[in-house]
Amino acid sequence: MTKHSGIIAAGHHETAMAGAEILRSGGGAIDAAIAAAFASFVAEPTLVSPGGGGYALCFRGDNGGARLYDFFCNFPGLSSVPPSKIDFFPVSVDYGPANQVFHIGRGSLATPGVIAGLCRMQAEGGRLPLSVVLEPAISLARSGVRLGEFGSAVGHLLEPIFRHDENLARLFGAPDRFMAPDWVYRNPDLASTFELLGREGPNLFYREEIAHLIVADQEAHGGLLNLEDLAAYNVIVREPLHMRYRQFELLTNPPPSRGGALIAFALGLLESYDIASLRFGNARHLALLTEVMRQTNLARPLFEATRDAEILLDPKLIAQHSRDLGWRLAHEGRGQTMIEPAHPEHNNTTHLSVLDDEGNFVSLTTTAGESPGYVLSGTGLVLNNILGEADLHPDGFHQGQPGARIGSMMAPTIVLCKGEPVLALGSGGANRIRTAILQVITNFLDFDIDLPTAVAAPRIHFEQGVLQVEGRETQDALAELQRWGYELNFWEGLHMFFGGVHAVGKDASGNYQGAGDARRNGAVIRV
């Protein structure tokens, strides 16, 4: 059997190891990405689960083709009358500086897509049988994975959700070891479910045994999801959003999702500036990034109203915003300017990036929200609470069109130079996904910083008139920003608030690199 070399960057060492194992077994980048994604449901259980949704951007080295697999969640309720009482209730999570309210329960479950998406990717681009690609995840689910400090910290943040259901809480060490860093997370029921999936394929989840178990639980406990929702679910293969940036070409997630379009808009604003002439991290560099973030936030309502990337990226609109950007950069007192509207996003997301020795690249992002607060009996499945994310439902909870795809900020991205990929990246991190990806792109392309340093470099995020700053910027730069009128909020060291960019790429000398973001427990393995 031919072994393949490559690099995988992911949110946990065991996630990356699963992908590496498949590369060594003869799989390519797609096989490795799918194996790693399934493994992440065990190795990163406080962040993601197999009951959510996501996106994957795949680039084929043999013909230069790229496809965006959209397997995010649909709004349910195609064929049933809503129950008289929906199981849907708020839970407050204490993030320290502020509390955030999420909604959980059976009524928070949107039609899941991640199983359908990963299985379709495997069928269309994989080299190995699905059952083989699932083996690392099955083994992990039986033997277990320590939560570790990061998994424990995330779990404690979401304690009201993970403790809501007794069976779910026991998976995480309750009553005495709940979310302890050395707790070994095992899920033998999930291992059995994955074994069944390997034999029977995705119809298991959408038409057959598991589908009926999900719907029976929904009907018994006040949920909205029905068998028609599951049977009608389709993975959508989209043309990636394309945009030129200097001598590069950006491929990213197109509408109806928003992250890719907003990243492209921000790069359109940056293109007219000679970023490489700036000193990285000085006040001028940080002010430029800040004002580009502000201007993108001001342009965002137009995209939210139209979901049309062509309108957002129209050169005339970018030129108009560029004039406003230039004016603001030339004046002080910037903190007194118009405050852009707030757009919160879901927080619990993970990403992985893979390349192989045949020039194939995969950038894959998944989420399940914060989980619905229960585990489906006998299956080990923790589903999603995407209907409980207020930011995804601007018209109000449970007001969506049944069968419609829900939008997201997730933005798996690949950058090409002369038609060949030089960077694949993505991030978790809610509304900071787009600013994290933007900064790594400019660090890597404009400043020509090696990929691990580009990912590890301190970040900023500007929203609602406040500039969030990671704690390693120079004091002189920060003092200058404050003098110019910015309100700053300091974060000590690297923090998961600023995303988790796991990336692979090729530097100017043609050397392949990988970078796992320490903010979210990142790991890199080279095969």
Residues with catalytic annotation?
349
CB distance 71 to 253 below 8 Å: no
406: phi then psi, degrees, rounded to nearest 5: -90, 140
Nearest-CA neighbor of 51 among 348, 361, 396, 398?
Answer: 348
Say which amino acid occupies 11. Answer: G
Kindly give the interhelix angle for 188-200 and 29-43, rounded to the nearest 10 degrees.
150
CA-CA distances (angstroms) from residue 387 to 65, 107, 117, 347, 400?
A: 34, 7, 19, 14, 9
For β-strands 466-470 and 487-491, DSSP reports them as parallel
- Which residue is listed with tokens 């690609």? 133
Dig out the tokens for 436 from the structure. Answer: 């994290």
Q: How far apart are CA 463 and CA 235, in angstroms?
A: 33
Tokens matching residue 289: 């990034």
Please check whether residue 491 is in contact with residue 469, taking contact to mean a CB–CB distance below 8 angstroms.
yes
Distance (Å, whole) CA 438 – CA 506: 18
Angle made by CA atoms 512, 449, 15, in degrees to the nearest 5: 50
| 128's tokens | 């190995």
In angstroms, rounded to a whole number, what is the distance separating the alpha carbons of residues 458 and 463?
17
